[in-house]
Amino acid sequence: MNTKNISKNICVICNEYNCLEEKFKYNKPDNSDKQKFFDNTKTKILSCSECKISYCANINKKKLDDFYNYIYKNKKYIPNRFSEFNSRFFSQALYFINHCKLESDIKLLEIGPNVQGVLPTLKVFQENIHYFYYDQKDIQHTKKNIYKLGTYFDPNINELPNIDLIWMSHTLEHIYPEDLIIMLKAFYKALNPKGKIFIEIPFDIHRNIFNFPHLIFFERFGLEKLFKALNFKIISISYINTDKSSKNGFKKTFETNIRKNNKSEKMNLLKSMYLIFQKFLPDKFVKKYALKNFVKNGPSTELPIIRMIVEK
């Protein structure tokens, strides 16, 4: 267990003394896979009063790596013929092109795309993209100009090519806290002038839910402060799904949750049936079906998220 920084009370992000407190606690592991690798009674979250960022203070890098390898080992994947119609990525792509133009011939780096990533969806708007990525999994669709750079980006070891856009969809909260600053500095160095980073992260602090393997917990103020300190310009930053009754909405009654689970089970069943039958159906039908059923009208999730675009 790494207690070095707790005992000395130094923030791994700002390196300041005596600015750390234990405001939040990890929840119990919510599935049996996590239970094997994670002990919420021993793992601490520290919050920095200077950075306004909270982070996991004592997780072992090797253990984290083992956990990801374990959960990805037996995951099966059926390729989707119209993977561009993915709600999450469609919504992100629309957000991006609402704030900046998606230029032609750009070099895009995605951190942790899993088997799909944002590329198919961005190609709806800009065909000419050179795509680089880091992930333990391999991309399962076939598009031109895809280059895998490695299993995960370690800013202490890997050197990045020059890039124009970095895409981080639900990955920034998984970065090993002690690597955060060196990683962002490496991004800044690799980005061409006016190069951008798109970030989407869950807003866990708003829900007051702290689940492994999330390691860093952000709020707007801390995010802005961090990126400005590293010389980035903030193009946009938004809280999504934080208004209305969504905060209380998470404490829904048992009954509503069951109804919801049944509904999403039905959707999952429908989706897996579709993935099997799509092979035999004409393009026109599949495209229409995929667009209608997999692109949501509104944010792709009901959970609160933060989206941000920054520029070099």
* Residues contributing to the site for Zn ion (CB under 5 A): 11, 13-14, 48, 50-51
**Hey, which residues does 310 pair with through a beta bridge?**
197, 234
Rounded distance between C-alpha atoms, residue 179 and residue 181, angstroms: 6
Nearest distance, CB of residue 177 and Zn ion, angstroms: 10
- State the Cα torsion 125-289-280-145 to the nearest 10°: 20
Cβ 250 to Zn ion shortest distance, Å: 28
Considering beta carbons, is residue 16 or 65 the nearer one to Zn ion? Answer: 16
Distance between the two ends of the chain, CA-based, in angstroms?
37
Cβ nearer to Zn ion, comparing 50 with 65: 50
CA dist., res. 144 & res. 234, Å (int): 31
**Alpha carbon of 290 to those of 96, 278, 294: distances in Å?**
22, 10, 6
How far apart are CB 157 and Zn ion at their closest, in Å? 25
Nearest-CA neighbor of 312 among 192, 162, 166, 168?
192
Residues 182, 174: Cα–Cα separation, whole Å: 15
Considering the complex, what minimum distance in angstroms separates the CB of residue 50 from Zn ion?
5
13/303 with CB nearer Zn ion? 13
Q: How far is the CB of 10 from Zn ion (least distance, A)?
A: 9
Q: How far is the CB of 70 from Zn ion (least distance, A)?
A: 32
**Measuring CA to CA, how many Å separate 98 from each of 91, 93, 236, 254?**
11, 8, 10, 38
How many Cα atoms sit within 13 Å of 263 on the Cβ side? 6
Find the shortest distance in angstroms from Cβ 2 to Zn ion: 17
Task: Give 14 or 115: the residue with its C-beta nearer to Zn ion.
Answer: 14
* Minimum distance from residue 227 beta carbon to Zn ion (Å): 14
In the complex with Zn ion, the residue whose CB is nearer, 45 or 48, is: 48
| Burial environment of residue 108 by CB neighbours within 10 A (0 to 12, 13 to 18, 19 or more) | buried
Long-range contacts at 79-82 (CB < 8 A, ≥ 24 apart):
79/140, 79/141, 80/116, 80/275, 80/278, 80/290, 81/278, 81/279, 81/283, 81/286, 81/290, 82/286, 82/287, 82/290, 82/291
- Choice between 201 and 290, CB closer to Zn ion: 201
Instruction: Choose between 180 and 310: whose C-beta lies nearer to Zn ion.
Output: 180
Task: Compare residues 18 and 69 and give the one whose CB is closer to Zn ion.
Answer: 18
